[in-house]
Structure 1
Amino acid sequence: MQLSRTGEAKPIKAIRNAALALTLSLTGVTMTDPSLAQAQAPSPATTGVLVILTVKTGIAREQVMAVMPDEVRQTVQLYLDGKIREWYSRADGRGAVFLLDVKDVAEGHAIMDALPLAKQDLVDHEYIAVGPLMPLRLLTTKP
């Protein structure tokens, strides 16, 4: 195993740099080390959209439950059609979280807006485009 000037093993240094880059990107800090900045692509490709569905304030549970049979049927069909990759209930009981297999937020909007809860204006949606974790590219470049 080759050691760097500081005595660290090179693979460990690469992992440390990747962890630092990940931490900085998750906290919104830009990188100042030009060698790290060059190793990153300008922006990740969108490979999916995370949708956080929240029942609107003031909507009675009975209103939501009256629509749920149709909502569930259509959501299951989206899953079977490959549009929903993953889905979860929110632990706070206020809605659901979906990972859609779509190319952009506009396509995610179109899918979610066509569902019964959205059509009846009972829920709000937050959309977040997601893609590959960009700092991992540091692990594929040679130091």
Structure 2
Amino acid sequence: MTAVIRETRPMKAIHNAALNVVLVLTLTLTGVISMAHPSVAQAQATSPTTTGVMVILTVKAGVTREQVMAVMPAEIRQTVQLYLGGKIREWYSRGDGRGVVFLLDTRDVGEAHTIMDGLPLGKQDLMDHEYIAVGPLLPLGLLATNPEHRP
């Protein structure tokens, strides 16, 4: 078992490095094309389509583990219901152990607020929430269009 873990770590590091290179190249190319073609920059400046909202929950300063754990049975039941109802698309534990990250299937941050405020931890104001609207990666549109032939 230990040998398998040692073998997969280098592959994970290579995979992460490759993703970082792709991200840097995408951002660099986007900047270069945007500088050369103002119409591309204007198109990218428009608001992207929101296809979900990422919510990062962090335990508030001063809130004890006992306070959070007292609410967890009800919180878990309600989040499972949201997942089964299609409102929570993905959910993750934070690596630092201080909360969770949800990807909600909502079209705006307001709806995400309503969902999170309805959960037991939200009702008891034990968590801080950060809301980030997400959507398609705009620079990928450059692959489908030729900026030289834009009107």
What count of residue pairs does the alignment treat as equivalent?
123
Matched, 1:111 2:115: yes
Larger RCO (CA under 8 A, 6+ residues apart)? 1
Query: Tell me, which stretches of 5 or more residues in structure 1 are unaligned?
Result: 1-15, 25-29
Matched, 1:75 2:86: no
Query: Tell me, which stretches of 5 or more residues in structure 2 are unaligned?
Result: 1-23
TM-score by length of 2: 0.73
Distance 2:42 2:125 in 1: 45
Q: Counterpart in 1 of 2:128? A: 124
TM-score by length of 1: 0.77
Q: Counterpart in 2 of 1:137? A: 141
Distance 1:17 1:139 in 2: 13
Query: After TM superposition, what 4+ stretches of structure 1 lie above 6 angstroms from structure 2?
Result: none
Question: Compared with structure 1, are the counterparts of its residues 33 and 117 closer, same or farther at alpha carbon in structure 2 (3 Å cutoff)?
Answer: same
Question: Compared with structure 1, are the counterparts of its residues 63 and 17 closer, same or farther at alpha carbon in structure 2 (3 Å cutoff)?
Answer: closer
The aligned runs of 1:36-115 (5 Å cut-off) are 36-37=40-41, 40=44, 42-115=46-119
Task: Provide the aligned C-alpha RMSD in A.
Answer: 2.4
Q: Counterpart in 1 of 2:6? A: none
Q: Quick one: percent identity of the two aligned structures?
A: 69
